[in-house]
């Protein structure tokens, strides 16, 4: 679609009704993630973000794992709604991007720059957030719908074990995506003049 950045940001929304279809090839999806990893900035050029792309059966397995864990936590009478939400939205998509931050990198910066020790974990989250927005916007610009989910930390250990991921990586967010089958979620905007303050 190739909108300019302003148009792409305006069109980025949360889509919860997804199909397991893709308007582009898997290689092009990988290309979006590689572009983000190459060009999104990070504090102290830390490059601490790690991405895991789950497609096909691996994507479905993630949401089966999530359901299984939640089934043990959610009261039985309420679990049907949880299951419906996962099956009808996240699991029904084409894939999921897992966003991680490498704590080994963060810890190394804390040791190298002790003056900023308390800030590096915060700046690491900033780095992840920039990757999330970039990938979300680029996926939607290609015709996908996506949303950002946070089932961490309850799924962290199971996901790490299933895909043999580095134990130093901290799961930050999950982004299920697919071709939208419904309208995006509401985007209620607070007044700009309550959030932007200009001094000339």
pLDDT digits (tens, 9 = 90+) for 153-176: 999 999 999 999 999 999 999 999
**pLDDT, position 182:** 84
Pairwise CA distance, residues 3 & 49, whole Å = 26
Per-state percent for the chain, helix, strand, coil, to nearest 5: 50, 15, 35
**pLDDT, position 118:** 97
For Cα atoms 108, 110, 115, give the angle at the middle one, nearest 5 degrees. 150
**Residues 42-81: b if buried by 16+ CB within 10 A, e if exposed:** bbeebebbbbbbbeeeebbbbbebbbebbeeeeeeeeeee
Pairwise CA distance, residues 11 & 7, whole Å = 6
Query: Helix, strand or coil for residue 193?
Result: helix
**pLDDT, position 27:** 98
| Residue 23 near residue 140, CB atoms below 8 Å | no
pLDDT at 1 over 70: no
Under the banding of pLDDT at 50, 70 and 90, the label for residue 195 is very high
**pLDDT, position 189:** 83
Residue 32 structure tokens: 């979006």
Cis peptide before 153 (omega within 30 of 0): yes
**pLDDT, position 100:** 98
Mean pLDDT of 131-147: 96
- pTM comes to 0.94
Pairwise CA distance, residues 72 & 96, whole Å = 23
Mean pLDDT of 22-30: 98
Pairwise CA distance, residues 20 & 129, whole Å = 25
All residues at 6 or more sequence positions from 20 whose CB lies less than 8 Å from its CB, including other chains: 92, 93, 94, 178
Mean pLDDT of 21-39: 98
**pLDDT, position 120:** 97
């Amino acid at each position: 679609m190739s909108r300019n950045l302003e148009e792409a940001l305006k069109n980025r929304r949360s889509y919860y009704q997804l199909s397991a279809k893709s308007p582009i090839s898997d290689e092009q999806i990988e290309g979006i993630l590689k572009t983000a990893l190459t060009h999104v900035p990070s504090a102290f050029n830390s490059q601490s973000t790690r991405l895991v792309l789950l497609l096909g059966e691996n994507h479905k397995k993630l949401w089966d794992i999530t359901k299984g864990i939640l089934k043990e936590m959610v009261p039985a009478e309420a679990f049907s709604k949880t299951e419906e939400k996962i099956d009808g939205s996240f699991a029904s998509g084409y894939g999921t991007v897992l966003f991680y931050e490498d704590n080994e990198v963060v810890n190394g910066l804390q040791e190298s720059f002790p003056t900023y020790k308390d800030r590096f974990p915060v700046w690491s989250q900033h780095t992840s957030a920039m990757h999330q927005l970039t990938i979300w916007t680029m996926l939607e610009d290609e015709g996908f719908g996506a949303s950002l989910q946070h089932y961490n930390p309850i799924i962290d250990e199971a996901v790490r074990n299933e895909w043999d991921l580095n134990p130093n990586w901290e799961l930050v967010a999950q982004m299920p995506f697919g071709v939208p089958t419904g309208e995006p979620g509401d985007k209620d905007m607070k007044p700009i003049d309550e959030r932007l303050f200009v001094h000339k």
